[in-house]
C-alpha cells in the first residue's frame, strides 16, 4: 500500500543531478524526436482537423501550436501537438506499452510555456513523465486473455501528462497525489479494440496519445488550485487497473527501483514512418535487396513470417488514407522495394493510388511463423522472417528479431539529428531547425522554453 504517494514523491523530488548522464541524453533524444515528428505531422489532415477545432473555439493562449503558427491554451496546444507528433506514426515508444513522447513532451512544453520554465526544468519534467507512465503501464498490464477483449494505451498514457505538468507547476507531494487521482477519474476508456481493425478506414484516434494530455494538464492545474481527487488511485482491488479494463495489478512495478532503474532507457526510436511491428520486415527486405543489388522489378515475391496478431492487424492490401497506410505491411514493403526514402511523404495520397505501388504490394504475402509467434507471446519481441524470391528464380532469406532503432539495435545521435532535420523541413526554415537542434542539445542552459516554442511555431 501507499504506492500512489510514493510515486508522487518521486515525481516531485527527482532532480536532473540525480540522473545518470545517459538518462539526460536519452531525455533529449526523446524531446528531439517528438518535436521533429510534431513539426512534420502538423501538415497532415489529422493535425489540421485538430487545429480547426481549437480555432473554432477561439485562438490565443500561452502555448505554441507547433508548426501551425498560432497559440492556444496549454491543454489544447498539447492535444494538437500530440496529434501532430503521432500523426505519421514516426514517433518512438516502449515495446507494447505505448507512444509516450506525444503525451509527455507535448504536455511538458505546453506547461513549461505557461509557467516560463527553464530548459533544465523541462528536462526534469520529461524524465519524470517517462518514468511514471512506463511504470504505470507495466503495473496494470492485462493478461493476454483480457487484452483480446479490451485493451488500450490511452488510460495510463495521461499519467505522463500529469507528472510533467504537475512537476512544472511546482505541485507538492499532496497535490501530485490529488492530480494523479483527478486524472484517474478523467482518463479515457481503453479503446484499442474499437479501432475498426475489421473495417477500414481506421480510426484517427490511433493509440489515444493526445487526448490524455488535456485531462492530465487540467488535473494538475485543478490540484494546484485545491481541487481534491482520490488519494489512492492505484491501490487495492478497485484501483485504477480496474478502471483501465485490466485484470492484473502489480504494485511493486510502480515503485521498485525508482530513481535507480530508469525506464526511459528502454525507448525505441523509429527509422520508418509506420507501425513498429512492420519495422523488422522492412529491415529484412532492405538487407536482402541491398545485398543482391536488386530493385523492385528484380523481385518476384516477398513472403514475411510474423506472429498471428501482426498478420491479423497489418495485412491490409489496399490502404485508404494516411492512417491505413501506416498499419499496412504490404504498403510499407512496397515502398521499400521501390527504394522510396522513408520520410514524411511516405503516405501522400498520390503514392497510395500509384499503379507501381499497387502492383508491388501484390508481390507481398504474410504468413504465421511459429518462432516469431513464440517470441511475440513470450518476450514481446516483434520480429520477422523475410523470404525474397527474385525474378531470376533465386531465393534469399533473413531473420530479424530486433528492428533497427530498438534498445538492442539503437539509432545513433547522428541518425536522430538527421531525422529531425528531415521532419523539421516540412514546417520551419533551415536556420530555425539548426537553432532548435543546438537548443535541445544544450537544454540545461536554456533560460526559457518559450525560446524553443518560438523556433517551432512555423
Domain CATH code at residue 246: 1.10.4100.10
Q: Looking at the structure, tell me whether residues 294 and 431 fall in a common domain.
A: no
* β-sheet bridge partners, residue 397: 387
Give the tens place of pLDDT for each residue, 335-374: 999 999 999 999 999 999 999 999 999 999 999 999 999 9
The span from the CA of 233 to the CA of 151, in Å, is: 19
Give 72's contacts (C-beta < 8 A, 6+ positions apart). Answer: 54, 59, 60, 61, 63, 65, 80
Q: Looking at the structure, tell me whether residues 284 and 266 fall in a common domain.
A: no
Single residue among 400, 428, 448 that ends a domain in this structure: 400
Q: What confidence score (pLDDT) does residue 151 get?
A: 82
Sign, CA torsion 39/84/262/110? positive
Domain CATH code at residue 382: 3.30.1330.120
**Range with lowest mean pLDDT among 189-198, 258-267, 330-339, 436-445:** 189-198
Give 58's contacts (C-beta < 8 A, 6+ positions apart). Answer: none
The span from the CA of 343 to the CA of 419, in Å, is: 8
Q: Over 70: is that where the pLDDT of 218 sits?
A: yes
Cell of 336: 521499400
Is residue 406 in some structural domain? no
Cell of 371: 518462432
Q: Over 90: is that where the pLDDT of 31 sits?
A: yes
Do 280 and 152 touch, CB atoms closer than 8 A?
A: no
Q: Is 6 exposed, middle or buried (0-12, 13-18, 19+ CB in 10 A)?
A: middle
Q: What confidence score (pLDDT) does residue 379 get?
A: 86
The span from the CA of 136 to the CA of 153, in Å, is: 11
* Residue bearing cell 502538423: 42
Closest CA relative to residue 207, chosen from 323, 316, 80: 323
Q: Looking at the structure, tell me whether residues 205 and 322 fall in a common domain.
A: no
The stretch 225-242 carries a mean pLDDT of 96
Do 292 and 298 touch, CB atoms closer than 8 A?
A: yes
Average pLDDT, the chain: 95
Q: Looking at the structure, tell me whether residues 118 and 261 fall in a common domain.
A: yes
Q: Looking at the structure, tell me whether residues 129 and 184 fall in a common domain.
A: yes
Give the tens place of pLDDT for each residue, 83-128: 999 999 999 998 778 899 999 999 999 999 999 999 999 999 999 9
Is residue 407 in some structural domain? no
The span from the CA of 302 to the CA of 409, in Å, is: 24
* Residue bearing cell 524531446: 31
Q: Looking at the structure, tell me whether residues 195 and 239 fall in a common domain.
A: yes
Helices (H), 247-403: 252-255, 279-292, 308-314, 322-326, 329-337, 349-352, 355-361, 370-379
Q: Looking at the structure, tell me whether residues 238 and 385 fall in a common domain.
A: no
Q: Over 80: is that where the pLDDT of 4 sits?
A: yes
Is residue 325 in some structural domain? yes
Cell of 334: 512496397
The span from the CA of 359 to the CA of 317, in Å, is: 11
Q: Over 70: is that where the pLDDT of 196 sits?
A: no
What order do you get walking across the sheet with 384-390 strand by strand? 364-368, 299-306, 384-390, 395-400
Helix (H, G, I), strand (E, B) or coil at 251: coil
Helix (H, G, I), strand (E, B) or coil at 364: strand
Is residue 405 in some structural domain? no
What is the C-alpha radius of gyration for the chain, rounded to an integer number of angstroms? Answer: 21
Is residue 356 in some structural domain? yes
The span from the CA of 356 to the CA of 457, in Å, is: 37
Q: How many structural domains compose the chain?
A: 2
State how far the alpha carbon of 38 is from the alpha carbons of 20, 28, 41, 102, in Å: 28, 15, 5, 8
Q: Looking at the structure, tell me whether residues 318 and 360 fall in a common domain.
A: yes
Written in H, E and C, the secondary structure of 178-247 is HHHHHHHHHCCCCCHHHCCCCCCCCCCCCCCCCHHHHHHHHHHHHHHCCCCCCCCCCCCCCCHHHHCCCC
Q: Looking at the structure, tell me whether residues 259 and 337 fall in a common domain.
A: no
Give the tens place of pLDDT for each residue, 39-86: 999 999 999 999 999 999 988 999 999 999 999 999 999 999 999 999
Q: Over 80: is that where the pLDDT of 1 sits?
A: no
Q: Looking at the structure, tell me whether residues 286 and 238 fall in a common domain.
A: no
The span from the CA of 440 to the CA of 51, in Å, is: 25
Q: Which residue range(s) make up the domain with 345?
A: 276-400
Q: Looking at the structure, tell me whether residues 262 and 231 fall in a common domain.
A: yes
Cell of 301: 515475391
Q: Looking at the structure, tell me whether residues 159 and 294 fall in a common domain.
A: no
Q: pTM to 2 decimals? A: 0.96
Helix (H, G, I), strand (E, B) or coil at 405: coil
Q: Where residue 201 falls among pLDDT bands split at 50, 70, 90?
A: confident
Amino acid at each position: 500500500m501507499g504506492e500512489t504517494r510514493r510515486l508522487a514523491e518521486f515525481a516531485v523530488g527527482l532532480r536532473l543531478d540525480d540522473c545518470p548522464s545517459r538518462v539526460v541524453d536519452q531525455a533529449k533524444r526523446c524531446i528531439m524526436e517528438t518535436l521533429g515528428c510534431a513539426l512534420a505531422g502538423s501538415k497532415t489532415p489529422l493535425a489540421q482537423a485538430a487545429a480547426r477545432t481549437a480555432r473554432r473555439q477561439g485562438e490565443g493562449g500561452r502555448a505554441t501550436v507547433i508548426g501551425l503558427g498560432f497559440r492556444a491554451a496549454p491543454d489544447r496546444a498539447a492535444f494538437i501537438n500530440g496529434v501532430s507528433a503521432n500523426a505519421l506514426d514516426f514517433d518512438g515508444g516502449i515495446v507494447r506499452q505505448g507512444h509516450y513522447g506525444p503525451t509527455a513532451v507535448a504536455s511538458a512544453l505546453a506547461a513549461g510555456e505557461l509557467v516560463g520554465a527553464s530548459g533544465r526544468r523541462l528536462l526534469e519534467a520529461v524524465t519524470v513523465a517517462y518514468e511514471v507512465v512506463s511504470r504505470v503501464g507495466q503495473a496494470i498490464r492485462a493478461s493476454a486473455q483480457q487484452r483480446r477483449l479490451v485493451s488500450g494505451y490511452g488510460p495510463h498514457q495521461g499519467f505522463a501528462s500529469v507528472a510533467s505538468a504537475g512537476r512544472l507547476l511546482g505541485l507538492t507531494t499532496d497535490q501530485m497525489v490529488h492530480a494523479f487521482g483527478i486524472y484517474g477519474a478523467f482518463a479515457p476508456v481503453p479503446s484499442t479494440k474499437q479501432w475498426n481493425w475489421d473495417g477500414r478506414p481506421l480510426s484517427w484516434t490511433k493509440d489515444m496519445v493526445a487526448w490524455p494530455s488535456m485531462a492530465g494538464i487540467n488535473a494538475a492545474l485543478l490540484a494546484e488550485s485545491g481541487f481534491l481527487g482520490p488519494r489512492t488511485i492505484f491501490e487495492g482491488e478497485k484501483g485504477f487497473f480496474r478502471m483501465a479494463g485490466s485484470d492484473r495489478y502489480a504494485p511493486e512495478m510502480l515503485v521498485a527501483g525508482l530513481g535507480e532503474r530508469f525506464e526511459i532507457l528502454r525507448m525505441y526510436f523509429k527509422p520508418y514512418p509506420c507501425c513498429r511491428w512492420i519495422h523488422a520486415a522492412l529491415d529484412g527486405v532492405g538487407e536482402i535487396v541491398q545485398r543482391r543489388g536488386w530493385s523492385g522489378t528484380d523481385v518476384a515475391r516477398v513472403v514475411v513470417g510474423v506472429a498471428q496478431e501482426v498478420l491479423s492487424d497489418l495485412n491490409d492490401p489496399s490502404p485508404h488514407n494516411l492512417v491505413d497506410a501506416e498499419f499496412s505491411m504490404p504498403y510499407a514493403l512496397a515502398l521499400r522495394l521501390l527504394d522510396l526514402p522513408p520520410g514524411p511523404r511516405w503516405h501522400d495520397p498520390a503514392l497510395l493510388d500509384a499503379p507501381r505501388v499497387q502492383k508491388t504490394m501484390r508481390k507481398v504475402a504474410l504468413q504465421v511463423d511459429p518462432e516469431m509467434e513464440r517470441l511475440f507471446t513470450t518476450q514481446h519481441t516483434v520480429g520477422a522472417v523475410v523470404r525474397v524470391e527474385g525474378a531470376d528464380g533465386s531465393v534469399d532469406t533473413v531473420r530479424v528479431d530486433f528492428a533497427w532503432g530498438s534498445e538492442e539495435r539503437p539509432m545513433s545521435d547522428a541518425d536522430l539529428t538527421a531525422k529531425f532535420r528531415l521532419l523539421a523541413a516540412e514546417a520551419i526554415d533551415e536556420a530555425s531547425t539548426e537553432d532548435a537542434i543546438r537548443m535541445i542539445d544544450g537544454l540545461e542552459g536554456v533560460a526559457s522554453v518559450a525560446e524553443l516554442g518560438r523556433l517551432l511555431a512555423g
